[in-house]
Structure 1
């Protein structure tokens, strides 16, 4: 249904002009990535978690070229953001117990005391490798895909439309009015739920008011799956490549 709706909206020239005008003067580079319909995942750095692998599989099933929008100039914090924390303290999936709990082992790849508060592009791993190339190397190994082809750093565009999520999130979601489909979960953890209520929902409602249609969003995981530790974790085969 979302794919059919996307195809119909992309035929509307007036909608295209209206959306692209409001995306801002610095949106040209990112719009070049949408010269065809795209399936999109928004994460600070492309990395081969089970969640990312699922996204790539769903995009393939829908015959959409996947794109991971990244944000290198975002700041690394660990206290309230599980996905950010997992980039520096990597959970490696082991097995799922009889009680349904996912068992993981952790590989800490960065010094949290030094890294917290820095931009992702400034963070250095314990092995001396920059954090972004480190995860891109693992992405290439884990997925067989070139991160230069399947990811795009949107930092410049985000910064041009606002300094915080409350300002840039509306523009981010506007990409999914007629240019692509966002794959996402709005997980009901306390901190992330507050983010959804304060940032995501107001932006969503404003876009409906502006364009008369909803951004196209497909849930990446079902209700009973989204809280599993498995999805933030990495396949076991990734572990042997961390320190090489």
Structure 2
């Protein structure tokens, strides 16, 4: 009996801590749902998230931030961490991100050609230097042949979540993460998908960091992200296959 009680106490200890996760801004909405569903299985594991652009989070990790798991908006930054031996195993793709054109105004959206409209004076996109969704946005604009025409209208957000705020409150239109538009709070918005042929697929990478490698709770959440239910949630929030 004492042995059984000892095992129960050890089990509770192993699955009752807090794990710290660095989360790319495009996941701001879906991460809440993922954690909610995860807690149905592991109610005693607390998850603390820090949300920001993938580039900024990577810089924090390189300077010793105590994150145990990193969910990036691309594979570039997790690969950097692996190459610098801050992550002990290679990253894996957990989701495919897509971008969309969103306007707070009641204007007809005909793809990126809409941006040529003289009534559109400010266009929000994420900073391509630190935000993978920003790089995809610039690539799509260049491939559509309108970059040079509209580049002076661009207002840069430091992350894709800040870009969404700019689009909803400041600019006439913006290029945002399609996943943000699947949030239940985002209803009756004026948006269209951007042709995925115009930009390189946004393969989003996840990597366990050195601080989390020996933590069983980190691996439980890692495995949940890749599970059938985890992947189903991503699809529900507008991520690609």
For normalisation by structure 1, the TM-score amounts to 0.31
Larger Rg: 2
* Structure whose residues are more often strand by fraction: 2
Give the TM-score of the pair, scaled to structure 2: 0.32
